[in-house]
Amino acid sequence: MKIGITGGIGSGKSTVTDYIIKRGYQVFDADKIAHEIEEPGGGVLLKLASVFGPEILAEDGSLDRKTMAAVVFSDDKKRKILNDITHREIHAIITEGLSHPETDPVFTDVPLLFESGFNKELDRVWLVTASEETRVKRVVARDGGTPEEVRARIRSQMSDEEKEKMADAVISNDCALEELYEKVDRLLDEANGKINK
């Protein structure tokens, strides 16, 4: 069974994913893969260099993030091309990984799961949610920034109500960590057929 984990910024998606890894399950992490493909020899770099020019590569052959950011800065068309190329590569790597799973269920952690349509490739989606107030507080504590900035980022994303309509399970994380882990344990038991829904 292929299960996607998603959730907006500050919902606790990474916390849930870390716990699932700790429970011994294989997780393909879209953010981690996004970083890996920017390393020297990363599959997508040649493509990016051919589209945007060799100056987007650093001397060691990795992606020169600063130059790349400058190239797409205030150019939405170029930014879209960059996103299309990298997202396609990330999805290809996840799809390949999910087709040779080492555990059952196998998981993937994708921030913009519904927005990208990747949910269609999965058997189930678990959505992590928390109230806006909780998310703002946690993100400010984690990353710094002002509550207004975090609120603006939250509101620029698809709303939890929209996502809940498409999710198979909602893990609400306005609770203590212990309770969060219990909710995940229960879903894992369900997925393993230990208890009926």
Which residues contact ligand ADP by CB under 6 A? 7, 9-15, 138, 142, 173, 175-177, 180
CB of 78 to ligand ADP, least distance (A): 27
CB of 25 to ligand ADP, least distance (A): 17
* Structure tokens that stand for 158 in this block: 């698809």
CB of 188 to ligand ADP, least distance (A): 17
* CB 40, CB 52: distance < 8 Å: no
30 or 45: whose CB is closer to ligand ADP?
Answer: 30
CB of 196 to ligand ADP, least distance (A): 27
77 or 176: whose CB is closer to ligand ADP?
Answer: 176
44 or 184: whose CB is closer to ligand ADP?
Answer: 184
47 or 181: whose CB is closer to ligand ADP?
Answer: 181
